[in-house]
Amino acid sequence: MDIRCIKTVCVTSVLLIGFFIAGCGEPGGAGKGPLASETDLGPTIGSLAEVFSLESTLVEGYGLVGGLNGTGSAECPPQIRTYLTQYILAQLSEPKIDVEKFISSRDTAVVLLHGLIPATASKGQYFDVRVAALPGTQTTSLEGGWLYGAELKTAGSFGITTRVLATAKGPVFIDTISTSETDKKVGYILGGGTVLDDYNVVLVLRRPDYRTAALIRNRLNERWAGTAKAVGPGRIELKVPAKYGEQKQRFVSIVKATYLSEAREMTRERIKTFIRKLAVSEDKEQSEISLESIGNESLSKLGALLKSSNEEVRLRAARCMLNLGSGSGLEVLREIAMDKGSGYRVEALEAITTAARRNDAAAISRRLLRDEDFAIRLAAYEQLRKLDDIAITQTLIARIFYLEEIARTEYTAIFIFRSGQPRIVLFGAPISCRRNIFVESPDGNITINAPAGQKYVSIMRKHPKRPSVIMRLKSTFELSDIIQTLCEEPLKKAEEGRPGLGVSYADMIALLKQMCDKGAVKAEFRAGPLPKID
């Protein structure tokens, strides 16, 4: 049907329905009269086109883990050996190693890699990769290993010429603090995968038509300049606007809810319908999205919902207004975020950080760093990190992980990340160890010792490849100094910088937990979840 005909029919239908619908701009009238059917309000882009993209993608590949000190194996299926040989040679500007000998060394192991590219991934974004020794090989452990560069393609496509979606490399992380038994032949490369391409949104018209494609393109570009590009009668490619860089899924939902045509009376009816649905229906999410898709015309009616007795309604109305550029809902979101009895505190905080002015977002997040609830303190830290706020002092350790210190907290805690970018966070810094301590790693290779009366901490480590060699360094009692002394790389001759003992991120985590459990450090120890890769 011609678009002009659709528009005419829809306008007529809404005007007829209008005689039977009571006013609904105020919360008090939210229950009066029937709700208009969304199909009577005109065609949305989502009703005319399918939206493709923004789905999580399972990827896999094969790679080589080195630095295993005799715990690897020479076994490798012929097809995988051929692939790895060709790949390694392609990465070298000139052949400097015997690739066959390298793959067959007991200090290396061929591994299978799996990763899950997030639905909202952008080019250059990092993600976790699971690494596992090939079954049936003599590899006994990947602990202490390093994954050399590897390619990741869509799962199940090995041996087929397909596009490389991501690459992976980095140190192998094997968790040793969980209560379950550790399988050292399986580990993770935390944040070790790198996405190679941007994932743009693609609209595919259900009925290809040049005129409809042009109308959709123009409609979206009116709202977000330079967003849409029609590449044929049935396909439109979209770039996610910078404003929605952290809310890509929300942007897709807004595109689908956007109406193809605009008319003053029709827009009023749409606003009335979705304001009432936001106030009284169970599907409040879609109503919020629809109002945001309509734009600034929704603001005056949304403002009436800021006084609703329903906290979820207040949250959604305020968030929608903030996303539309109005600060009128900021105080409501602030109240919800600060309310210790609210179940929407984190959502309110995220809404503020995403759309409010930077200074407002930072001020609220800093206040919540002192909250009694650790989950709120952690959420506030995450938001301040996104804002690159000065409340967080950040140090890159051994080019492997970040040590981050937050001084604005009453409660002392150590939080370690076991997925995403490796991080150790000290809440309530500076955190100091008690004066009389002795902590030893389970294998006896690392010792942290400060007898009574000693004015410094002695840190010792057996050389990982020459156990008879003992490396010794001194540290202050500050935990951040101990972490850096343990984990920074040992200096070579004539090198300048801070010396360290080269302890891995995984071993440092285990030592921190042990120090907290033994009371050497007066801080609560908390660990984030392990990666979830299906």
| One domain for residues 83 and 188 | yes
Give a yes or no: residue 25 inside a domain. Answer: yes
Please give the pLDDT value at position 207.
95
Please give the pLDDT value at position 201.
87
Please give the pLDDT value at position 91.
82
The DSSP bridge pattern shows strands 413-416 and 524-527 to be: parallel
Tell me 217's DSSP state: H
| One domain for residues 507 and 440 | yes
The DSSP bridge pattern shows strands 401-406 and 423-427 to be: parallel
Containing structural domain, residue 413: 391-534
Please give the pLDDT value at position 508.
96
Q: Residue 38 contacts by C-beta under 8 Å, 6 or more apart in sequence?
A: 44, 273, 290
Give a yes or no: residue 39 inside a domain. Answer: no
CATH number reported for the structural domain that contains residue 292 in this entry: 1.25.10
* Share in percent of the chain as helix, strand, coil (round to 5): 35, 25, 40
From 370, 386, 402, give the residue that closes a domain: 386
| One domain for residues 173 and 250 | no
Please give the pLDDT value at position 305.
97
Give a yes or no: residue 131 inside a domain. Answer: yes
| One domain for residues 182 and 317 | no
From 176, 195, 214, give the residue that closes a domain: 195
| One domain for residues 403 and 534 | yes
Give a yes or no: residue 509 inside a domain. Answer: yes
Q: Residue 214 contacts by C-beta under 8 Å, 6 or more apart in sequence?
A: 230
| One domain for residues 283 and 226 | no
Give a yes or no: residue 14 inside a domain. Answer: yes
| One domain for residues 290 and 251 | no
| One domain for residues 370 and 414 | no
| One domain for residues 481 and 525 | yes
Give a yes or no: residue 426 inside a domain. Answer: yes
How far is the C-alpha of 316 from the C-alpha of 307, rounded, in Å?
A: 12
Convert the pLDDT of each residue in 375-389 to its tens digit: 999 999 999 999 999
Q: Residue 202 contacts by C-beta under 8 Å, 6 or more apart in sequence?
A: 51, 52, 53, 235, 236, 237, 238
Give a yes or no: residue 348 inside a domain. Answer: yes
| One domain for residues 244 and 174 | no
Please give the pLDDT value at position 95.
64
| One domain for residues 483 and 411 | yes
Per-residue pLDDT of the chain (534 residues; tens, 9 = 90+): 444 443 343 333 333 333 333 333 344 444 445 555 666 899 999 999 998 866 789 999 999 999 998 999 999 999 999 999 999 888 876 667 888 999 999 999 999 999 999 888 889 999 999 999 999 899 999 999 999 999 999 999 888 888 999 999 999 999 999 877 889 999 999 999 999 988 778 999 999 999 999 999 999 999 999 999 999 999 999 999 988 988 889 999 999 999 999 889 999 999 999 999 999 988 899 999 999 999 999 999 999 999 999 999 999 999 999 999 999 999 999 999 999 999 999 999 999 999 999 999 999 999 999 999 999 999 999 999 999 999 999 999 999 999 999 997 889 999 999 999 999 999 999 999 998 999 999 888 999 999 999 999 999 998 777 777 788 999 999 999 999 999 999 887 667 778 899 999 999 999 999 999 999 999 999 999 999 987
Q: Are 312 and 301 in contact (CB under 8 A)?
A: no
From 339, 355, 386, give the residue that closes a domain: 386
Domain count, the chain: 4
pTM of the model: 0.85
Please give the pLDDT value at position 158.
87
Give a yes or no: residue 43 inside a domain. Answer: no
* Residue that the structure tokens 């937050």 belong to: 406
Please give the pLDDT value at position 51.
87
| One domain for residues 28 and 107 | no
